[in-house]
Amino acid sequence: MITELRSISPTDGVGVSNVDGGPIFDQRLPDTSFWGPFATIQEFHRELRRGLELQDGEEAFPGLRELVEFHKGPWEDPVFIHSDLSSLNIMAVGDMGTGIVDWESAGWMPPYWEYTSAWHVNPRNTFWRDAVDGFLTPLPHELEMERIRRQYFGEF
């Protein structure tokens, strides 16, 4: 199902946005649940960093320079994702996934966003983190970059 979602092509000119080009909804983002829309992934990332840019040679907290460089890309186009995958939103019969519910956060996001969002969806559901690695490609570097972003710019 996830692969099928990623194969949906956006309308020309769509950046990081909800399904129809408007503000994205993500209750895990700091300060507000509605963000954007953004013309590019880089613009979205800059907003996640609250506009922070680092100059060459400028002193920075540990990991921050690496985060800024990661955010700059280069990036593929945004991909269509559910953005709120959790054990509560995936319907199954036995071990077979039969559907996904709760689409209010779906939209066009950076390619790694589905993985890092699913991994952080419920900090108390530690079993879920292992499950996520079973149906989404593990992205340890992207997960570390998200950890650093959350450390400096806001927890979900």
Domains, the chain, with CATH or none:
2-153 (3.90.1200.10)
Question: How far is Cα 79 from Cα 151, in angstroms, rounded to an integer?
Answer: 26
pLDDT digits (tens, 9 = 90+) for 26-55: 877 766 778 899 999 999 999 999 999 998
8 A C-beta contact, residue 23 and residue 109 = no
pLDDT band with cut points at 50, 70 and 90 for residue 3: confident
Short-list 141, 97, 96, 92, CA closest to 119 = 141
Coil/strand/helix, residue 93: strand
- Model pTM? 0.88
Is the pLDDT at 139 greater than 80, yes or no? yes
90 or 143: which leads in pLDDT: 143
pLDDT digits (tens, 9 = 90+) for 86-138: 988 888 898 888 888 999 999 999 999 999 999 988 878 888 888 899 889 99
pLDDT digits (tens, 9 = 90+) for 69-83: 999 999 999 999 999
Short-list 127, 105, 130, 99, CA closest to 117 = 105
pLDDT of residue 19: 92
8 A C-beta contact, residue 79 and residue 6 = yes
Question: How far is Cα 103 from Cα 93, in angstroms, rounded to an integer?
Answer: 20
The phi, psi pair for 125, rounded to 5°, reads -95, 70
